[in-house]
Structures are given as structure tokens and as C-alpha cells.
Amino acid sequence: MTQSAPSTAPSAAQEFRLPDVGEGLTEADIVAWRVKVGDTVAVNDVVVEIETAKSVVELPSPYAGEVLALLVAEGETVEVGTPIIRIGEPGAAPAAAEPAAPVTEPATEPAAEPVTQAAEAPAPSASSGPEVIDTNVPPTGQATLVGYGPKQRALKRRARKGATTDPTAAPAEALSPAATDPALEEPATPARPPRALAKPLVRRLARDLGVDLTTLTPTGPRGTVSKEDVLAAAGGTASGQAARVAPPAVAADPAGRETREPVKGVRKQMAAAMVASAYSAPHVTEWVTVDATATVDLVARLQERPELRDVKVSPLLVIARACLLALRRTPLVNSTWDEAAQEVVVKHYVNLGIAAATPRGLVVPNIKDAHELSLVDLAGALDELVTTARAGRSQPADLAGGTFTITNVGVFGVDGGTPIINPGESAILCLGAIRKQPWVVDDEVVPRHVMTLSLSFDHRHIDGATGSRFLADVAGLVSDPATALLF
């Protein structure tokens, strides 16, 4: 009797589905792939950057192996639960998915159709087939990233127009980046090598200039092709060709007199939050002009302190410290209105939010328990918060749970404003530009550093007296900041 040889077929590949990175995420934009087909990755290696409604997040891989396919192109918006990358041994077939339990409805409703989650199930035709119901429950054996929990409620994903209904069709190929954009990455073959790594704007520039990215030697971080690489290949310079770089994707009218830019990601979240705040909380704004000369002088001295030389020290540091002291004296400003319970919740801690303008929109990360920090620690926290936010790296947890916000329009040369309260809070302080102006001191007009402070607050539970007392307290500490450094 002959004995059959052991099977040498490679093990099944795993497909990593877009996870919910927190706070009920339903979709995200694929910003940039950090790997390409053929790369070998280990568990927790970062494979992709995604942009959610609040920030840009790096996703680590839950699997180890070779990257077999990138299933979603850069720039696409995908729903939670969508397979985005396939990882396994070379030549491995996709893992057979197990069907999820049927979704049941209350007895008064018609029974729902069973929910399937086969990773390789083809999308039905938008015109003839039913919707695909995806519960986003990972297949058996799929690792779950720390903090990235699967969503429990069902998400509906309509089939893309023109999708095949042929059960023999390979959906992995239909979902591959090559199927949607000829410039995007495909699995390596003798006839077509993997594409070079580059950000979307760099790819657009290369297309405009007629440069083949695969012929360039990348000099950017992690082996990416940079804008300078493209310009050098085109025979130009960064300064001479900068005007030819296309702006973010917009739709222009035929006459070229208007452009339309999609609102999504951080900007979409900001718009919804501001509308909700403006029309749910009655805003009152007060402002005061104050002599900030003592604060400017103090900042100059602090910049010389050895323990503060490695961080940025600005008037924002001193004013933030003043706000923390004033909030201790007027705790009602550090509260929130609970509409459902008809209660005012006074916070005995301060998560200090700092509004930051980023290329993707306005975000308000906050320093947790800022009231417990020393001046040196507060300076370091502010520096790290602003740097991270401007780089688009603030995590969802950094943007949640704020109790009081400071926004600084003075950096743009603006004297003041009427800021909208950050949702979930009751007040926001706006800092205007510090300018040298004539000021009366001891009946004499002298040049002083002057600024305007504007405070918006929720008038449902913070009356004029309370708001005015807090604003006057902050103004007094700005004009004489020594007290703010004593606690």
C-alpha cells in the first residue's frame, strides 16, 4: 500500500477588515498604505493610515506574513468591516469565512434574512441583487486589535454599481486597487512590478508631469517617493514647479469660475459639532482688553529657564495656567449641561482643550487632568499636543472628554472673536493678538503689550455674573501673572 505525500499547499490567507477604532466609527478614508504587495509584515506592524471623522490613525496588522493584496485604493472611503488587505503565505488562498448567526427581529417584524459574512462572497448587482448586510463580526480566528472592537449593530453596504453577480467571479480581484485605478498597486507579476509608494498628491503631480513613479529612486520616509523626487525627474525644482501641484480633489465647473470640495473626515465632524452646539446651547460672549506686558516679560524669562528650553514657551502657557486657577475659583464654568437628566454636571477635574488648525480641519485635543500638572509639565503637554495635532496624529481618545477649551486666533493676527463652545463643554476662551498699543499707566500714556480676551459660555446655567467673574479673573492674572505660578 502506498502512502500519500503530505500536502504542501500554503495555508489560507487572512483578510484584515477595517476596524472600529473607537466612538462608533462607521467609515474611514484610506490615506496612505505603509506597505506594498510582497512586503513581509509582523503582528502590530503599521500597514495603513486612515482618516476618521476626528483624526488620522495608524492601523497595525493583526496578522504576520506576506502582503498578498491591497484591497482598497488610497483615497477611497470604506465602511467598517470592509476587507482592506490580504496577508498570508505566497500563493495562499483566501480563508473560507464562516457564516454569521442570522439576524433576528422582534416578533412583530418580518424575519430578517440570514446574514452572511463570507470574505469572498461577490457583491450583488446594484440593479438586480439584494443589499449585502455586514455585521462586521470578524471571522473565526481573526485577531482583534487592542482598542479596536468589532461593532455589534448591522451595517448595510450597498453593492457598487456594475458589480458582478457571477458566483465564480473573484471579488478579491474586483476589490483590488488595480481594478479601480490603473495607477494603483497590483500584485507583482513579471509583466507588472509593484507600484512605488507615494502619497496621493505626489501621484497626481507625477501624472500631471508625465513621470513614471516606478522609474524613480525614492528618497522620502520609509521608501516613499517624495514631491522633490518627481520634480527632479521632470527637470524642475520645488520652487519652480510648486504652482503646478494640484490642490485636494475638487470638482470644477466647466467655466472654471467655481470649485467644489467634498466635506468629509475631520471637516465634516467639525461642521456637525458646531451646528449642534450653536443651536442647542444659548451662547453669550463677553470680552475684555487687558495689558499683557507682564505676561510677555514673564514668557521671555521662562524661555531662559533650563527646564523649559526643550519646549515651546509662549503666552498660551501662562494664560492656560491662569485659566486653570480661575476654573478652580469659578468651578461652574468647568461643567456641562445634561439635557436628558436636566442637571448641571460640575467637573472637579480639568481636561484642557486647545483648538488647533490642521490641514484636515479644526480639531480640539485636550490635556487630561491638566489641573494636576506643574508649569514645566504643562508646557511639555501643550507642546506635544499642538505638535501632534498639526501633524494630524491626534488619537480619538485625545479628542474626547474635554471640559474647557482655549482657542488662539492671535496667531493669525486677529484681535478677537465670538467662538462656538465645544460640544459637551460650557465655555471657551478666545485669545486675540498681542500688540503694542498706547495704554494709560498712572495717568500717563505709555506703549504696552495689549490683547483682547473673549469668553463664550452657555447661558442656560452660567449667568452673566459668573461668566464675567471668571473672565475678569483670567484678565487679572494675565496683567499680573505671578499668582498663577504659585499653585
Single out the catalytic residue among 283, 348, 371, 459. 459
Phi and psi dihedrals of 27, rounded to 5?
A: -155, 165
Say how far apart CA 174 and CA 422 lie, in whole Å.
42
- Provide the CA 170 distance to its chain's centre, in angstroms: 33
Q: How many CA atoms lie within 13 A of 448 on its CB side?
A: 18
In the residue annotation, 348 being an active-site residue is answered as no
Which three cell numbers mark 267? 471637516
> For residue 160, which of 126, 131, 135 has the smallest C-alpha distance?
126
Residue positions annotated with a catalytic role: 459
